[in-house]
Structure formats: C-alpha cells, structure tokens
Amino acid sequence: MDTFELYQEVALTRDLPEHRLKAGDIATLIDFVPHPSEGEDGCVLEVFNAVGESIAVIVVPISSVEVLRADEILTVRSLPQAGSYSLQTSKF
C-alpha cells in the first residue's frame, strides 16, 4: 500500500469526468478525511494547471490516488474551460 504525505504530488488512478480530470493527472494532496461511516477514507486534492494556477479542490477516495514513481514521465493535455477556481467534491 502507498504511504502518502501532506503536500505530496500524487497521480489519479481513475478518470473523474465530473471534474474534467483523467487517470494520470497530477494533484497535490492537501488533507486526509475520514469517511463519516465505515467506508473508505478520502483525501483532499488541489489540482493546478500547467502554469501553477489552482483550478480545482476535490475530495476523492484514497484508492483514487497513487504516489508518483521514478519510472513515470509527466505529459501535458488541454483542459477545456479551465481557468476558474472551483471547490468540488467527489462522492465516495
């Protein structure tokens, strides 16, 4: 199992179409949140565009992220309608 630290960059493990994000997109882990009942705990992520502007803050299940590895390379893709800050949560 991955060990996560606050303010660490992580990669999404699945597409999040409701946030226009895809598996492999990079985000910064900014907090951990316990599930209110007995479900999977989550984490709060801040997503930035390629020039470092914050474009979203989302909450996802911890299984939706993984640590970055040395054998991976970063890429760039267009994000339609990116540019405004949004506070969004994902159901988990």
Give the mean pLDDT of the chain: 88
Is the model more confident about 87 or about 52? 52
Question: Domain count of the chain?
Answer: 1
The band of 28, judged by pLDDT with boundaries at 50, 70 and 90, is very high
Host domain of residue 30: 9-67
| CATH number for the domain harbouring residue 16 | 2.30.30
Angle at 44 between CA 40 and CA 47, to 5 degrees: 135
* C-alpha dihedral, 28 to 34 to 35 to 38, nearest 10°: 140
pTM: 0.82
Place of tokens 């040395």: 70
* Assigned domain for 74 exists: no
* Assigned domain for 81 exists: no
**pLDDT surpasses 90 at 80:** no
